[in-house]
Structure 1
Amino acid sequence: MTLYTLRVILFPNPPFFEGDREVWREIHIDDSHTLEDLHNAIFEAFDRWDQHLYEFDTYNEYELPTRAYVHPSQYEGGPSWPPMNEDEIDRMLDQMSMDNPPEGAIEYFREARADPPPEGNVADTTIQDLDLEEGGAMYYLFDFGDNWEHRIEVREVNDGSLEGPPRVVAEHGEAPDQYPDPEDMND
């Protein structure tokens, strides 16, 4: 078995969280756990109390999305994102700010947009299925209305397993309230 140390970094989310401080949690998880297990660990680690839809997205070395893994209630087995035709892809590339993109990035983008990979179901996808490497990253979006975005960095990959569910092993910064008091947001 393989044991992972993942650092989950909360991105700024004005007006809920201005990002004036760094907030992250490190979680131990082994390769037998699912993305749903990881969601539950993140949910608890950031002191959330009201469940919402969520999604995990994997990215490649070009920082381009490779696949979306969705909440079981949203899973249909279709593409990770809507396919695009050549004109749509060209328009999107024109709008992107990619100065001197790495060789292969544009080609990958065109192929992935024209023929997207199938979406994954978080309940059926194990950490092992993701083939994570130390130094790699993926993204997690919680609550499609308030859009709490997180970057998940793979800090360590070691031999080992974990008894029980994934657990927080380190934390930095106080998690913002899931639903801040509206009066506090106007200060």
Structure 2
Amino acid sequence: MIYKFRVILDAEEDIFRDIAIDENDTLEDFHNAIFNAFGFDGMEVASFYTCDETWNQEDEISLFDTGDVPGEQKIMSDYTLSALLDEENTKIIYVYDFIQMWTFLVELAAIEEPQAGETYPTLLFSHGEMPDEAGDKNFEADNADDIYGDYEDDYDEDDLDMLDGEDNFEDYGFEENWN
């Protein structure tokens, strides 16, 4: 079967690509199709993230195993598309270049029979021009009330002094000169 995806750049303007790819291709194959469809050079690190129906990020599946224990981390070449996505699980997030943070919302739009004579993956449709830089990501709240809520009025510097002026580290389960 052929999976048809809409890959949408997380930006203010509508920029997306429709890609058809075989369900037995790996996430690494899909990664290659995405960076080619958007005109990237493929020289940057990328990851897919599983997510729920409202795009809340869950598990990372990276391009390379960067974990402390070899083989312990999930990597793209280990997963076929059909192992992660189906008619009920249609969404996944793709991040390319962790400096620029190009973020894409990827949704499975259709599952169809392959077309005779067609090679996959293939770019079906392209809409919008890629900007020179990824949009700014705002990881901060708009104002202090969003962060602190009602606690800001109760702020007292003495609350932050764990030791109350004493160097008694034994109470905290570690020694002062641990290194």
TM-score normalised by length of structure 1: 0.61
SS in 2 for 1:74: coil
Does 2:124 correspond to 1:169? yes
CA deviation string 1:154-174 (max 9, x = no partner): 111123378544111011111
Contact between 1:134 and 1:157, CA under 8 Å: does it hold in 2? no
Match of 1:125 among 41, 59, 79: 79
Change (3 A) 1:158 1:62: same
SS in 2 for 1:51: coil
Amino acid at match of 1:177: D
Match in the other structure for 2:91: 137
Amino acid at match of 2:81: I
CA deviation string 1:138-169 (max 9, x = no partner): 10000011100000011111233785441110
Match in the other structure for 1:31: 23
* Greater relative CO, 1 or 2 (CA 8 Å, sep 6+): 1
Amino acid at match of 1:121: I
Change (3 A) 1:58 1:172: same
SS in 1 for 2:34: helix
Match in the other structure for 1:57: 49
Match in the other structure for 1:97: none
CA deviation string 1:52-90 (max 9, x = no partner): 110001113354444221112536444xxxxxxxxxxxx
State how far apart, in whole Å, the 2-side matches of 1:135 and 1:71 are: 21
Amino acid at match of 1:139: I
Size of the aligned set, in residue pairs, is: 131
Match in the other structure for 1:3: 2
Q: How does 1:11-22 map to 2 (within 5 A)?
A: 11-12=10-11, 19=12, 21-22=13-14
Change (3 A) 1:161 1:68: farther
State how far apart, in whole Å, the 1-side matches of 2:66 and 2:37 are: 24
Amino acid at match of 1:143: D
Structure 2 unpaired stretches of 5+ = 135-179
State how far apart, in whole Å, the 1-side matches of 2:66 and 2:119 are: 27
Contact between 1:134 and 1:154, CA under 8 Å: does it hold in 2? no
TM-score normalised by length of structure 2: 0.64
CA deviation string 1:77-118 (max 9, x = no partner): 44xxxxxxxxxxxxxxxxxxxxxxxxxxxxxxxxxxxxxxxx
Change (3 A) 1:134 1:5: farther
State how far apart, in whole Å, the 2-side matches of 1:150 and 1:61 are: 15
Contact between 1:48 and 1:177, CA under 8 Å: does it hold in 2? no
State how far apart, in whole Å, the 1-side matches of 2:131 and 2:36 are: 13
RMSD: 2.5
Instruction: Name the % identity.
Output: 31
